[in-house]
Every structure is written in structure tokens, then in C-alpha cells.
Amino acid sequence: MRSKDKISYFYDGDVGSVYFGPNHPMKPHRLCMTHHLVLAYGLHSKMEVYRPHKAYPVELAQFHSADYVEFLNRITPDTQHLFPSEMARYNLGEDCPVFDNLFEFCQIYAGGTIDAARRLNNQLCDIAINWAGGLHHAKKCAASGFCYINDLVLGILELLKYHPRVLYIDIDVHHGDGVEEAFYFTDRVMTVSFHKYGDKFFPGTGDMKDTGERDGRFYSINVPLKDGIDDGSFNRLFKTIISKVVETYLPGAIVLQCGADSLAGDRLGCFNLSIDGHAECVRFVKKFNLPLLVTGGGGYTKENVARCWALETGVLLDTELPNEIPDNDYIKYFGPDYSLKLPGGHIENLNSKSYIGTIKMQVMENLRCLQHAPGVQMQEVPPDFYIPDFDEDEQNPDERVDQHTQDKHIQRDDEYYEGDHDNDNHTDDA
């Protein structure tokens, strides 16, 4: 057992100030709310807090097609009407609108996950957290499900430079289709997604029989669930499957996507998980003592998203948080009871014992087909694929150095108290 985990935490206030538009369920402002809870509980003093670099287009193109990245970089709300065929080709529009500072938003959340992976690779921390990341639906050449750039795939590609095998775990209510698809043909990444499946629920993939192909056969694990699953059923299934996966696959690192739309009461979700039940998955994965990259994901009742990710930051720090939320800039969102913990829901649980038993049996059978962890030959580690920090002596004085380059390492205490106010224009999003 490690004496004390060293934790790196990535946050940039700019990521929470973008606005997807009126009536759109995705509210990046939830990230500001999460960060303010982290500050209010004093958790920032127990971690190293970093502002991520903005990922360069060339870094995003490690997974995404260069033409798609270039279009995201170029398109604006004022010019989108000029490019109807590209908008359709790249699936931009209703679910994935073009908004002001879209590309910078992608650069920041992707940069956070890439930086998190690099710090883990260089053994500068044991756990790295980027709540802005976890946008698991984005495809190589298209946006999908509110996701434009798939930071998870980029982070996993980074981890694969140092680790023969990486395990990806997804507890968002939606199937982690973009990550599964990216690694469907390889045994270097095992993807395990617990999600609602059926009733034409988005994205419509994630059947138990989808297990990977070619070298990746049996390395994709899908756990399709029905409405109303509760803490007990979910946690038992999660622990049984994940312990067997880790024992069989022997990953060198784990990426955990903590989508909070699997919580009870989520605007787009249909599960009954309490915050404690959701956090129990994080606590369990932490116990394996493997390099761990933790991201956010979905979550559309924003005060509950903030509660969840703040509590899970505490779990990763082995710090129990008082249930009474301390005063902070967003305290009004947490009324009337101002408590951190959210109880489970009351949707009828359609997951019978026999249904859960069938899933467990099938997953175990697929894991038995693996026999043992694949023997991946490691070549020389390629260099980190990004433009290095500037050397002042070599820097071109004509090129403007932006604020992000100047303050790679941010101060913890006084960073985010200005300008983080909600830009929802008082839209009701309960």
C-alpha cells in the first residue's frame, strides 16, 4: 500500500464559462460549481493544482482526422451557415452546436486529460483528476452527444506510450461508444462500460454481445442495464466485474470516467444511484493502487454533478467531507438543505436478480476466453507529442505568449473568485 497518494488536479476557469445555448442540457458552468466546492472544502490544499495547457491541433489529430480538427478550429456561430455540408458531415448542429470559443473549450478539456496522462507516465503523481474531461461520445471524424473531441482516447493513447495495457472504466449512464470504437480492434486497451441500454436510449450501442473484434475480441465489455438500478445492485455488479477484469487483464494504468448522469434525479438519466453509491465505484477502483486518471463526463442536474465530483475528489484524497456544504459563491444552488449527499431515487428497478445474474455470467464467460493478459512487446517510448515549454533564450520575441503558457502552474487559493458566474441568463434548468 502506498503511504499517501500524490494527486494532480487540472482546472481552468475558462472551461466553465462557455455556453451551449438556451435549453441545451449541457452546462459547463457545473465545472465552476464543482471547483468552488473543492475550494470551499479546502481540498485544493491537499493536491497539486494545475491549469492545463491548451492542446495543439496536432495533438488532437493523434486520434481525430486533421480535416475535422481544422474545421472545429475555423467554424464560428457567425459562419456556420456558410458550411451546411461540413456541418452535416461532422454532425454539428442541434446536439453539438457551434458556440463562441468552441475550439478553445475543446483544447482546454483535452489538454487537461493529456496533461493528466503525462504526469502519471512520468510518475509525478499517483492519481490525476480532470473533471472537465470524459467526453466519451466524440468520434474520429465527427462530434456526437455533446462531445466534440474525445479527450479520453487522447489520454489513453498517451498512457499507452508507457503501459502495455490500459483499462478504461465508464460509469456514465450512456454507453462509452467513442472510446470503445477507438480501441475495438486492439488488446492494448480493455473498455468496460456500465450503462442504460434499450428503449432507443442514446447512443443505442453497448449490447452485451459487442465484445470487440480481431485482436480486440473479448477486450470490450458492455454491461447493459435497465431503468432504476440502485446502489446495492450496481455496486455488487461493478465490484464483481472490475475485480475479475483487473485480475485477468493486469492493466498498467486505469482511466475512470465518472459521468454523473447515472445519479438519481438527473435530467437525462434513469438510474437510482445515490452520490455515495456512485462514489463507491471510485473508492473501489482507487484500492487497486494503479496509476489512475479520473475524468468527469455527463451530468445534467448541475448542482448534483458538483456535489458528486467534489465528494469523489474527497474520496481520492482519503478525506471525508462534512455533509453541510460550506459557504461558497454558488451556495444558493445547493438549497434548501445545503447538504452534500444525495439519496438514491425511487424509479422502479427493472433490473431483476435473474437479469443481473445473466449479465454477470456472460461477462465472466467472456473474461475466461482471455486466459491471461496479452504479451505486448514494448518498443522504445516515443516522445511526448507536443510542443515543449518555451525556452526564453530561444523564444521569438515577435510571438505573443498567451496567459496559459505564462502560468502553467497556478496558485491555489485566489484563482477563481471572479467572473465565474452563471451565463445561463436565468434559464431554468432544474
Q: Is 145 annotated as a binding residue?
A: yes
| DSSP string across 149-194 | S-HHHHHHHHHTTT-S-EEEEE-SSS--HHHHHHTTT-SSEEEEEE
Determine the Cα–Cα distance for residues 161 and 288; give it in Å rounded to an integer.
Answer: 21
Strand 292-295 relative to strand 127-130, pairing: parallel
Q: Is 261 annotated as a binding residue?
A: yes
Q: How far is C-alpha 186 from the chain's CA centre?
A: 21
Cell 493478459 belongs to 373
End-to-end CA distance of the chain: 42
Q: How far is C-alpha 52 from the chain's CA centre?
A: 15
Which helix (H) or strand (E) element contains residue 130? strand 127-130
Q: Is 207 annotated as a binding residue?
A: no
Q: Is 95 annotated as a binding residue?
A: yes
Which helix (H) or strand (E) element contains residue 116? helix 102-121
| Vertex 69: Cα angle to 150 and 19 (nearest 5) | 70
Determine the Cα–Cα distance for residues 348 and 362; give it in Å rounded to an integer.
Answer: 24
Contact in structure between 287 and 122 (CB atoms under 8 Å): no
Q: What are the C-alpha distances in Å from 365 to residues 180, 237, 324, 360?
A: 20, 15, 45, 9
Record the cell numbers describing residue 144, joined without a space: 456526437
Annotated catalytic residue, options 137, 163, 195, 278: 137
Catalytic, 346? Answer no
Contact in structure between 58 and 18 (CB atoms under 8 Å): no
Record the cell numbers describing residue 64, joined without a space: 481525430
Determine the Cα–Cα distance for residues 15 and 157; give it in Å rounded to an integer.
Answer: 23
Sheet holding 166-170, edge to edge: 48-50, 7-10, 127-130, 292-295, 253-257, 166-170, 189-196, 220-225
Q: Is 174 annotated as a binding residue?
A: yes
Catalytic residue list: 137
The annotated binding site for a divalent metal cation is made up of: 172, 174, 261
Q: Which residues are annotated as a binding site for substrate?
A: 95, 145, 300
